[in-house]
Amino acid sequence: MSYIAPVKDMLFNMVHLANLEQIAQLPAFADAGVDTAQAVLEECARFNQDVVAPLNWEGDTKPSFFKDGHVTTSQGFKAAYQQYSEGGWQGLQHPFDFGGQGLPKTIGAACVEILNSANMSFALCPLLTDGAIEALITAGSDNLKSIYLENLVSGKWTGTMNLTEPQAGSDLSMVRSRAEPQADGTYKIFGTKIFISYGEHDMAENIVHLVLARVTGAPDGVKGISLFVVPKFLVKSDGSVGARNDVHCVSIEHKMGIKASPTAVLQYGDHGGAVGYLVGQENRGLEYMFIMMNAARYAVGVQGIAVAERAYQKATQYARDRVQSRPIDGSIKAAAPIIHHPDVRRMLMTMRAYTEGCRAMASVAASAYDASHHHPNVSTRQQNLAFYEFLVPLVKGFSTEMSLEVTSLGVQVHGGMGFIEETGAAQYYRDAKILTIYEGTTAIQANDLVGRKTSRDGGNTAKAIAAQIANTESELKKQNSAHAIAIAKKLGAARQAFEQVVDFIVANTSSNPNAAFAGSVPYLMLAGNLMSGWQLARALLVAEQAIAKGEDVPFMQAKISTARFYADHILSKAPGMRDAIVDGADSVTSMALESF
């Protein structure tokens, strides 16, 4: 089955949940209203459905390969990437000043989902380039911006993030790559970096590596890390590509999933030192790299939504086509498609509800990002920034964990055929696993949620969001339909569970950190569940009002059914999660270490 982008659902979220028309009133986005969004999404859907999606299966079965220091990407990737960059897709949400189209993240995030649903391995290259662009816009000198940004924004060059080393995974204080200052203001970079997505490939004329390294004499730990631009090819004074820099791929990894994406081991400085250019100030590299990390973390969450959508579409089509057994209600007297079986419908509804809930949450987060950067009122910007930053670990952590459940269910719907690679369902399951690991594992997202996003402000941001959710409960009760009343009850119980966990986290993070962090991932999952369920509850309010007016009844009825299912089967888990976090903290760490 071919992929069909869910443009209608994306536009619904933008218009009714993410306040696109208000975003379009900001001076920076004057031309970014609904008509623009629809035109962009429809063209994005056409390109990805026709050009990028057909390469997904081929890339999985015949992945990128490494030979004699060079990486050759899967057949068709290079030509598709040229079309991608020529179409201006890399620059969609980057500033006009550097050749971008300047569209809001609210629109751009939907396009990122479409690209990743079409082909996640392919989409990783633009994802990393986006992060490099954000870091250079924020911290790069005018000279670095003039040399690199236009070519990155156009897609002519691609970007990477170089953090991890063999001895330094998530603990970046252990970074050993070194940078030696030179008389001309450049640095010579030496070291080994691993897990570098698209660290070497044949799709663009240059690769711009952003590299964490320690300047000679810098302090130990994270305070002594600096960030450098290290291009694969040095750039001449006229802006053209020059001599090869001393950075080389020595191998690529053999992986469980995202096989078409070349994951490189890069060696810096084997022949005298790679030429690097300092980004910002020395010893502030981790601060700058987190700009890339935050952009990438949100995007990885969208990848989770994207692969879940693809798995859902494939499972639904299979359930419509696969004939097995008579329906148990006797509605058909002969063997029928398995979509008639209640448990298959339960699985499909679970897949759909999770995917739509997370998509709505991500869309609302993108809107908050746009307002936090471009709204003229300082207080409004600050409120939206706090909201967005609270949601980032949820978009990343909850959406990616969700994608594992959804893609697993996709295999289950296929039954034994799902375990056979040729059906394609297994690829989505394999691809999804990396999403809970790279750009910070789920536990790292949860630590961020507990420490920086909840405890640091005494739970104020979390409680402010809970107050907004309570307002939605009131609106549901006023609507007074059977569905609205039922969802209000489940939403209220989940909100109260969330508030109780926030109180527990705030009370224990300093005094009893093991108790607080023992429940960090369950807290993230509870919070993500609540935020997604909240957005679907808001969607139900819109849908019921639209049906009363006779507007797009089949679509709106499906939206109501999805919201009700989410409340009954997913949101209803929140109180039990509260019990595990608050009442079960001690049992996580009570067993003696030698007993494991």
Which of the residue ranges 29-33, 313-317, 449-453 would you say has the lowest mean pLDDT?
29-33
CA–CA gap between residue 130 and residue 116 (Å, rounded): 14
pTM assigned to the model? 0.97
Task: Give the angle 16-22-28 at the CA atoms, nearest 5°.
Answer: 135
CA–CA gap between residue 136 and residue 134 (Å, rounded): 6
Shared domain check, 474 and 530: yes
Looking at 375-421, list the stretches that DSSP marks H as alpha helix, in order from N- to C-terminal side: 378-414
The gap from C-alpha 466 to its chain's centroid, in whole angstroms, comes to 24
Q: Using alpha carbons, select from 82, 134, 74, 136 the residue that is nearest to residue 108.
A: 134
Shared domain check, 263 and 195: yes
pLDDT at 31: 86
Q: Grade residue 499 by pLDDT with cuts at 50, 70 and 90.
A: very high
In a domain, 451, yes or no: yes
The gap from C-alpha 410 to its chain's centroid, in whole angstroms, comes to 20
Provide the CATH number for the domain around residue 78: 1.10.540.10
CB 273 within 8 A of CB 190: yes
With a pLDDT cut of 70, the percent of the chain lying above it is 100
End position of a domain, from candidates 251, 283, 315: 283
The mean pLDDT value of the chain amounts to 96
Shared domain check, 242 and 267: yes
pLDDT in tens, 55-88: 999 999 999 999 999 999 999 999 999 999 999 9
Provide the phi-psi class of 262: left if phi over 0, else alpha when psi is between -120 and 50, else beta. Answer: beta
Catalytic residue set: 439
pLDDT in tens, 532-558: 999 999 999 999 999 999 999 999 999
Q: Using alpha carbons, select from 555, 562, 561 the residue that is nearest to residue 11.
A: 555
For 252, the token pair is 């690529």
Residue 1 has pLDDT above 70, yes or no: no
Neighbours of 461 (CB within 10 A): 18
CA–CA gap between residue 356 and residue 156 (Å, rounded): 34
Spell out a b/e string for 537-567, using b for 16 or more CB atoms within 10 Å of the CB, else e: bbbbbbbbebbeeeeeeeebeebbbbbbbbb
Shared domain check, 239 and 136: no
Shared domain check, 198 and 139: no
Shared domain check, 584 and 462: yes
Residue 511 has pLDDT above 80, yes or no: yes
In a domain, 251, yes or no: yes
Q: Grade residue 171 by pLDDT with cuts at 50, 70 and 90.
A: confident
In a domain, 83, yes or no: yes
CA–CA gap between residue 196 and residue 116 (Å, rounded): 18
Shared domain check, 167 and 107: no
User: Domain of 104?
Assistant: 7-151
Shared domain check, 176 and 145: no
In a domain, 460, yes or no: yes
In a domain, 576, yes or no: yes
End position of a domain, from candidates 240, 260, 283: 283
Average pLDDT over residues 240-268: 98
CB 484 within 8 A of CB 544: yes
pLDDT in tens, 93-116: 999 999 999 999 999 999 999 999
Q: Tell how strand 178-181 and strand 65-67 pair up.
A: unpaired
pLDDT in tens, 394-412: 999 999 999 999 999 999 9
Shared domain check, 116 and 195: no
Q: Using alpha carbons, select from 115, 94, 92 the residue that is nearest to residue 37.
A: 92
CB 201 within 8 A of CB 125: yes
Residue 290 has pLDDT above 90, yes or no: no
Average pLDDT over residues 560-569: 98
In a domain, 329, yes or no: no
pLDDT in tens, 449-466: 999 999 999 999 999 999
Q: Grade residue 170 by pLDDT with cuts at 50, 70 and 90.
A: confident
Shared domain check, 178 and 137: no
In a domain, 131, yes or no: yes
Q: Domain tally for the chain?
A: 3
Helices (H) and strands (E) in the chain, counts: 21, 12
Provide the CATH number for the domain around residue 251: 2.40.110.20
Query: What CA–CA distances, in Å, run from 545 to 102, 234, 302?
Result: 34, 59, 29
Shared domain check, 452 and 586: yes
Residue 3 has pLDDT above 70, yes or no: yes
Task: Give the angle 234-235-240 at the CA atoms, nearest 5°.
Answer: 130
CA–CA gap between residue 387 and residue 151 (Å, rounded): 33
Shared domain check, 190 and 122: no
In DSSP terms, 180 is beta-bridged to 188
In a domain, 350, yes or no: no
Neighbours of 295 (CB within 10 A): 24
End position of a domain, from candidates 151, 169, 192: 151
